[in-house]
Structures are given as structure tokens and as C-alpha cells.
Structure 1
Amino acid sequence: MSIEKILAISGKPGLYELKVQTRTGFVAESLIDGKKITVGLRNNVSLLTEISVYTYNEEVRLAEVFRAIAEKEDNGPAISHKEDNAKLEEYFREVLPEYDEDRVYVSDIKKIVNWYNLLQSKGLVSKETPAETATEAEAPEVTEAAEAKTEE
């Protein structure tokens, strides 16, 4: 999942990809229509990697929620964010059963589902976790390095 440079900008619809940092802010490109905008330092901007969802036990990273939706939908699109509130809450409970219903509002669920569908259409989310892929790729190298040290 490659959402490291994906931004949510307060007051602007959709999501944006960080393109270039400038001395007064940065340039971002809309994932919806591809238009580039300049964003000043006064705008409220959130990286998706820094957003978490409240559960009864802990906070779950948004990337993990997206992965859970991708698993449920087999990397396909989720339900529409325009569904009625009860259906959205039921769907989100299937994806993240322990979410804190007092602190996660329907408006948050709508935003998460909408963002997931946008990212899914661009191929930026999947049910594979990057940690698993990286560990599998690095494991043989670590083992070989450890064996080399043991032989010395």
C-alpha cells in the first residue's frame, strides 16, 4: 500500500498526492481530476499515514483499516459512501468490529469509505501488507549476514 504521500486537505474535496515542497508550502495533485494546486502553510493538511481510527482498545492506523476493507472486498471497491447511515455503520462494524462507536462518527465512516474507493480506483490500496513483503524479501539477506558473522 503506497499512501505515504497522500494528503487530505481541509476544505478541499477528495485526496491529493504531494508532488513538490516549496518554500511557502507545497504543490499537490488531485487524485480525482489530476489538477495541481498550491497549498500554503496555513492550510490544515493531514497525511493519511498519520490518521488513526479509535477502537475500544487502541488506535488503528488508517492504512490497516484500508487493508481490512481490501481483504473484505478482495481488493475490489467498497460500498458507496452515500448509503444510509445504518448500512454504513453495519459495514464498518464488519471491517473493524472493535471501533469505538462513541468517537467514530458516521461522517468519519463516510470519509474513510469514500477515500478507500478513490484510492482503490487508483490501485493504491491492497490486502497485502508492506511489512510482510519487506520482511520476506529481507529475511534471506539477514540470515546470510548472520551466518557470515557466525562463521568468522
Structure 2
Amino acid sequence: MSLDKILAISGKPGLYELKTQTRSGFLAESLIDGKRLSVSIRHNVSVLSEIAIYTLTEEVPLREIFKKIYEKENGEQTISHKESKNKLEEYFAEVLPDYDEERVYSSDMKKVIQWYNILQSKGLTDFSEPEKTDKADQEEE
């Protein structure tokens, strides 16, 4: 499953998998407890594939940060998102040394680390970019 189907819903803990579209929004399933949730268009929803973290030079997609954590931890869980602010900042500096300290808050770091641990626990560790298929390429074949 790609990060295109994984959602973070404002005000709801954890991550959700997009299941299906409905007339008033969509249906999502919690990756933590498997409960289904009807999400209306009023909810503030973020797709993980669209999230990036600020660095001093550019914005780094979340998938690349997850990939760096995965490599650093050899595919295992990382530190807890409940660690102290200093520990979170030290860890994040190891993973992404040039992150923008003024625009990336400890709450952002907590989310990234918590999300990585949720995805890792569910075996969703393919953080490679999905292959894009062009219509022109398909027509040539």
C-alpha cells in the first residue's frame, strides 16, 4: 500500500487507510484499531504522500524521511514519540541534519516518529515513490 492511501485526520489519533469514496466524503479505517470512520469534507485531512518537512534548502517529502528512519533503524521501530523534546530533536537531527529548526516544531517531529512506528508495525515499509505511468508511454507499447 502506498502513502497515497494513508491519511492523517485532524483531531483523530493515528493514521487511517482510505477505503472508499462516499457521497459526502469517504470511508477510512484506522491502522491502529481497525475501526471504520466516515469522514466528511469538513474534516481537515492530509494524505501522507503530500506532506513534506522543511529543510534549510528545500522541502523533503515525508516518504524520504521515513526511508531514512527505516535505513537508520534497519527496518525496526524507532524511538517513542513520547520521548523528551531534546531527545526528539537530537534524533531528528540525525535523520535529517539540515531540517529548518525555526519551521519544524517538536510536535511535527512527534507526528513523523509516531507515524513511522505505526506504518512499521503494520508492515507498510515500502517508502519508494510510486511509478508514474504516462499515457504516451502506454500508447507506444
Global fold match (TM > 0.5): yes
Match of 2:92 in 1: 92
Sequence identity of aligned pairs in percent? 63
- Greater helix content: 1
- For 1:112 and 1:92, locate their aligned partners in 2 and report how far apart those are by CA, in whole Å: 9
User: How much does 1:125 deviate?
Assistant: 1.6
- For 1:10 and 1:110, locate their aligned partners in 2 and report how far apart those are by CA, in whole Å: 15
Larger Rg: 1
| Unaligned residue ranges in structure 1 (runs of 5+) | 135-141, 146-152
Q: Which amino acid aligns with 2:62?
A: L
Number of aligned residue pairs: give it. Answer: 134
Q: Are residue 120 (structure 1) and residue 120 (structure 2) matched? A: yes
Contact 2:63 2:128 in 1 (8 A): no
Q: Which amino acid aligns with 1:129?
A: S
Q: Which amino acid aligns with 1:118?
A: I
Q: Which amino acid aligns with 2:124?
A: L
- For 1:30 and 1:66, locate their aligned partners in 2 and report how far apart those are by CA, in whole Å: 20
Q: Which amino acid aligns with 2:66?
A: F
Match of 1:110 in 2: 110
> Which runs of at least 4 in structure 1 moved beyond 2 Å after TM superposition?
128-131
Q: Considering only aligned residues, what root-mean-square deviation do their CA atoms show, in Å? A: 1.8
- For 1:129 and 1:7, locate their aligned partners in 2 and report how far apart those are by CA, in whole Å: 17
Q: Which amino acid aligns with 2:44?
A: N
| Unaligned residue ranges in structure 2 (runs of 5+) | 132-136
Contact 1:26 1:40 in 2 (8 A): yes
Q: Are residue 26 (structure 1) and residue 29 (structure 2) matched? A: no
State the secondary structure of the residue aligned to 1:86.
Answer: helix
**TM-score, length-scaled by structure 1:** 0.83
